[in-house]
Amino acid sequence: MQRKSNGMTLVNEPVERKETARKKYCRFKKAGIKYVDYKDPNFLLKFINEQGKILPRRLTGNSLKFQRKVSTAVKRARHLALLPFVADGLK
């Protein structure tokens, strides 16, 4: 690493990254699920955080097609009062 006279380092060296993260997979494609049932709130709770917000794709690993189906199912379940819109502590 080279140093300048004012003590700052140069950014020429590559940053080492940890490669221990697992590859994300779509659990729907792996299990062969074609329909996301909005009447199953226990399954839909896996895609909702503690405040009741829908988790994004980058956290769940869903494909775009199934993330859309999950969000629609969660919204339908909320409308039928199977899931809360806002919660202090779901889990």
Total domain count, the chain: 1
Between 78 and 7, the more confident residue is 78
Average pLDDT over residues 53-64: 94
18 falls within a domain = no
How far apart CA 68 and CA 18 sit, in angstroms, is 31
25 falls within a domain = no
Mean pLDDT computed over every residue of the chain: 85
Per 3-state DSSP, what percentage of the chain is helix, strand, and coil (rounded to 5)? 35, 5, 60
Report the CATH number at residue 48. 4.10.640.10
* CA-closest candidate to residue 62, choices 32, 39, 29: 29
* Residues spanned by the domain of 61: 31-79
The string of pLDDT tens digits covering residues 26-36 is: 889 999 999 99
84 falls within a domain = no
pLDDT at 21 over 80: no
60 falls within a domain = yes
34 in Cβ contact with 65 (< 8 Å): no
pLDDT at residue 17, rounded to an integer: 67
47 falls within a domain = yes
